[in-house]
A and B are shown apart, each in its own frame.
Chain A
């Protein structure tokens, strides 16, 4: 299994509080991604990173920010959590091949509940 850990694995927080989720990899992969999984929506991309300090938005980026100061760590921050951000969050990594994009490997997920 790819070396990807996420912390915390579970979190309950109150509306309006800031929350930071951490993804850590030991594979030295260049790309890192944050997804959320919700019933009826599958996996939706929040933000991704293609290198240290290089990030871009995904399809559901509103209300989220990210940072990547080291190859191995990718942080997802909810500046002011809302109940609509209750979800399961997955981090993924990939290393593009010479041909281009390649498969992603996922972490175990973080279940976030905003009350």
Chain B
């Protein structure tokens, strides 16, 4: 059973606008979350993380928001650039755990 879900397989956004990628999880024990970006024929690369003691973490154009009560996190990219076009995976774990559980990914296309 999928413990981390990304319900939007794809998203298209105009260059310069905001991209919002969503992720839901079912396991209330998860307390550490990450976003990865993946280009074709490459391995995923780490983007940004957030622990459950925070509800927001920012790194440049990327911001992750965590809503623990809704078991929901989102990644905001502002402004979106064509180079952001990739598949984005969210992942979740327990801080004291050894395993990460990944969502199925959202393919983002930023239109110039």
Contact = CB atoms under 8 A, between A and B. Distances in A.
Interface stretch (B14-22, B61-69, B73-81, B88-96): B88-96
Given A42-B89, A109-B43, A104 B98 contact: no
Given A58-B99, A103-B49, A42 B104 contact: yes
Q: Is the interface of A mostly helix, strand, loop or mixed?
A: strand
Contacts of A109: 41-43
Interface residues of A, number: 26
Interface residues of B, number: 28
Given A42-B105, A43-B89, A107 B43 contact: yes
Contact of A99 (B6, B95, B97, B102): B95
A92 B43 CA distance: 9
Contacts, number: 61
**Most chain B beta carbons < 10 A, residue from A43, A44, A108:** A43
B105 A48 contact: no
Given A105-B46, A107-B43, A56 B100 contact: no
B92 to A, nearest CB: 10
Interface in A32-67: 35, 40-45, 48, 50, 56, 58-59
Interface of B: 4, 6, 32, 34, 36, 41-46, 49, 51, 89, 91, 93-105
